[in-house]
Amino acid sequence: MALTEAIRSAADGGAPVFGTFVMEFATPGVGALAAAAGAEFVFFDQQHTGWSLGALAPSLWGCRAADIPAGIRVPAAVPWMIGAALDAGAATIMVPAVDDADTARAIVRAVRYPPAGERALTFGVASDGFRPPADPGAEMRRRDAQTPVFVQIETVAGLSHVDEIAAVDGIDVLWVGDNDLAAALGVPGEFGDERYLAALDTVAEAAASAGIAAGFTTANPDAAQDMLRRGYRVLCCGNDIKVFHQALRSGIDQFRRVSQVAQPAR
């Protein structure tokens, strides 16, 4: 099932969709590693890393080879950044700090080709495997239909306009930026605060009302269970830094425990 169909199915009560973020290990094999672990998509983060598209090119190509959709979180809602990321091979886009419906509509226009949008047209580049399509018009329509758009709700303005943002045609996922949203609400790092929890429910309700999915990132299974109960249907299992750190720390802690009962005979 294509990512777009999986997301729409999840929003309609089907199985949730699970992926991960990559913020450090942008290697050619990271997509295959994620796919082998069961991830259904990977997002590479340009917002907090400063990665260029050139730096991400081998990883995007590796994801293509591993048949796992690769998304890019661009730094801002800038049309040329969105178009360039798609031409470089991104299968989906995430845009941070979307504050209103006008911004959401501009993002959709940047993703879609004319006449529905304003994406600049080029073929024979990485997005087509360096092979021009036999039918350019059909390929344009396919991309318009098969490129999910994720927008982040992480500001007071975005939260205030979340219903209008969710109703914009072409938006597929409302993604909560937990750290930024908590800080914007005046409770940085206080993820149990009632204002923050109420905001999570507001986003989930807006997504459900619009028939789209709500999404979230966490490396904690208990938090993931809570988000699923709240109606979040697309989840990232942390990012590569957190996953590596948690797995390695758990392993080292276990090594230390067993070392205390496995001393060599003297």
Give the model's pLDDT for residue 55.
96
Cβ atoms within 10 Å of 1's Cβ, excluding its own: 12
Domains and CATH numbers, the chain: 3-259 (3.20.20.60)
> What is the C-alpha to C-alpha distance for residues 25 and 104, in angstroms, rounded to an integer?
30
Provide the residue-wise pLDDT of the chain in tens; the chain has 266 residues: 699 999 999 999 999 999 999 999 999 999 999 999 999 999 999 999 989 999 999 999 999 999 999 999 999 999 999 999 999 999 999 999 999 999 999 999 999 999 999 999 999 898 888 999 999 999 999 999 999 999 999 999 999 999 999 999 999 999 999 999 999 999 999 999 999 999 999 999 999 999 999 999 999 999 999 999 999 999 999 999 999 999 999 999 999 999 988 666 66
**161 included as an active-site residue:** no
> What is the C-alpha to C-alpha distance for residues 26 and 241, in angstroms, rounded to an integer?
11
Q: Are 202 and 194 in contact (CB under 8 A)?
A: no
Q: Are 75 and 112 in contact (CB under 8 A)?
A: no
Burial 29-61 (b: 16+ CB within 10 A, else e): ebbbbbbeeebbbbbbbbbebebebeebeebbb
pTM: 0.94
Cβ atoms within 10 Å of 258's Cβ, excluding its own: 9
What's the maximum distance between 2 C-alpha atoms anywhere in the chain?
Answer: 80
> Looking at 12, 36, 38, 48, which residue is catalytic?
48
Chain-centre distance of CA 56, in angstroms?
16
Give the model's pLDDT for residue 120.
95
